Amino acid sequence: MTSIAQLPRHADVLVVGAGPGGAATAAHAARAGHQVVLLDSAVFPRDKTCGDGLTPRAVAEMSLLGLDAYLADRPKIVGLQMHGWGATQHIRWPSGRFPAHGSAVARTELDDRIRIAALDRGASMVEGVKAVGVDVSDNTVRSVQVAADDGTASIRVGQLIVADGVRSPLGRMLGREWHRDTAYGVAARAYASSGRADDSWMGSDLELRDAHGTLLPGYGWVFPLGAASGRINIGVGALATGKRPAHMALRPTLEHYARAQTADWQLSGPPVEIASALLPMGGAVSGVAGGNWMLVGDSAACVNPLNGEGIDYALETGRFAAARLQDGDHSHAWPALLAEHYGTAFSAARRLAGLLTVPKAVPLLGRPGIRSTTLMSMVVRVMGNLISEEDDDLIARAWHTAGVASQRFDHRRPFH
Ligand SMILES: Cc1cc2nc3c(=O)[nH]c(=O)nc-3n(C[C@H](O)[C@H](O)[C@H](O)COP(=O)(O)OP(=O)(O)OC[C@H]3O[C@@H](n4cnc5c(N)ncnc54)[C@H](O)[C@@H]3O)c2cc1C
């Protein structure tokens, strides 16, 4: 915990939030020679409600942070074991531009490790101190007010990175608005001891039912955390829109789902540490930048609308933000950059996710879909955010075309 007397009075780059988005920004910016202060209201290591799954794209970003060795003795996840409507498909992550494996690491550990990578590269850390206010003129943040247990202070800033997560209190002070007319998620996770903690497949259930057998508009997951941990991360999620809010009772659904997985995943106890959270998705926010500030990660709603994964986007947007620190006014350039990288895919994915909030759509698409290996391979590629702008194969082109078409009908495009 940092005391008020120890606080710096000025930061060339102040990064608020030391999750993957903020810590990655701090690491890349410090490596590029900026004087960086990374500030978080929590004291690390801290937990973050999450499925703990790392897609191959997240593994690639970890590598850019010099963390290959750290991931070397973590689970190597080769693909998704997908279940539903009496069928199971094992779909490997596609080979290509990204590593052929993903991983899963509890966020208590992962976030602390990325944060330390930022400190190793020269960033300094302020813990247990909350950003509570901003002093803005001409769309430029001059200083950030902070509060610690022993008082309040003000830090003058050259540039500000807002990486304060899903609710983004600081982003909101700067005018960030979350629009719930497109799909967003609600999800809960827990941990359980498992005889299959060393499995190399992630479990994904497209058919989720409650204790009465009623089909729910959601999905379930089981992510093995490795032999050393002896645990799996288990969770359930639901998609919703402002018009069709999710009425799923997350905790009982998760407990029922865990009971249903007990034999298959050799669970030896009930789910513990149950926690839930909202997930803004698909760039459904406006007000993501100003003259000298940018929002990254969850605060910019950079979460895949089809499965709620956001760690890779947080790491990536942190890298992009660090790279444009020296480029001057971010007001238009930052939303344009985010839209260029994610706009078409987010538009198509959130439209599809919105369709999945219609109760009859899930079995209609899911029942035949799960039986088609080709279709499921496409789904895994889209869900894993594994189609890059450079890809030029048939699926990538179809997905891109769908995104361009979808954006034409968007009442509000991603990040606008
Ligand atoms: C149930 C659930 C399951 C998920 N499963 C997965 C998954 O398996 N894989 C995946 O890739 N993604 C998953 N996600 C999404 C993923 O957790 C997020 O996308 C990711 O954490 C985003 O990182 P971030 O750095 O933007 O924000 P965060 O990790 O939320 O970090 C924000 C930080 O800001 C700090 N902070 C907030 N306010 C202030 C303030 N005022 N002052 C100072 N500090 C502040 C917080 O303490 C926190 O440390 C899941 C999400 C949920 C809810």
CA distance 286 to 331: 11
Task: Give the global pTM.
Answer: 0.96
Measured from the Cα of 299, ligand 1's closest atom is: 26
CA 363 to ligand 1 center in whole angstroms: 31
Q: What residues does each domain of the chain span?
A: 184-279
CA distance 219 to 200: 20
Measured from the Cα of 313, ligand 1's closest atom is: 19
**pLDDT score, position 99:** 94
Mutate to test the pocket of ligand 1, among 189, 288, 298, 385 (most ligand atoms within 8 A of CB): 298
Contact 286, 204 (CB under 8 A): no
Contact 107, 52 (CB under 8 A): yes
CA distance 116 to 246: 37
Residues with CB under 6 A from ligand 1: 16-22, 39-42, 48-53, 130-131, 163-166, 169-170, 187-189, 235, 277, 279, 297-298, 303, 308-312, 314
CA 111 to ligand 1 center in whole angstroms: 9
Measured from the Cα of 23, ligand 1's closest atom is: 25
Mutate to test the pocket of ligand 1, among 48, 65, 80, 306 (most ligand atoms within 8 A of CB): 48
Angle of CA points 75, 78, 80, to nearest 5°: 110
Task: Report which protein residue has its CA nearest ligand 1's atom 35.
Answer: 17
Measured from the Cα of 298, ligand 1's closest atom is: 26
**pLDDT score, position 284:** 96
CA distance 236 to 189: 7
CA 41 to ligand 1 center in whole angstroms: 13
List of E strands, 165-264:
177-178, 184-193, 201-205, 208-209, 215-216, 218-224, 231-240
Task: Report which protein residue has its CA nearest ligand 1's atom 31.
Answer: 19
Contact 56, 50 (CB under 8 A): no
**pLDDT score, position 49:** 98
Query: Residue 414: is the preceding peptide bond cis (ω within 30°)?
Result: no
Residues in CB range of 213: below 8 A, 6 or more apart: none
Residue by residue, pLDDT tens for the chain (416 residues) are: 888 989 999 999 999 999 999 999 999 999 999 999 999 999 999 999 999 999 999 999 999 999 999 999 999 999 999 999 999 999 999 887 899 999 999 999 999 999 999 999 999 999 999 999 999 999 999 999 999 999 999 999 999 999 999 999 999 999 999 999 898 999 999 999 999 999 999 999 999 998 898 888 889 999 999 999 999 999 999 988 888 888 889 999 999 999 999 999 999 999 999 999 999 999 999 999 999 999 999 999 999 998 899 999 999 999 999 999 999 899 999 999 999 999 999 999 989 888 887 778 878 888 888 888 888 888 888 877 788 777 888 888 888 898 899 999 998 999 99
CA 82 to ligand 1 center in whole angstroms: 25
**pLDDT score, position 303:** 96
CA distance 63 to 26: 16
Task: Report which protein residue has its CA nearest ligand 1's atom 15.
Answer: 310
CA 162 to ligand 1 center in whole angstroms: 12
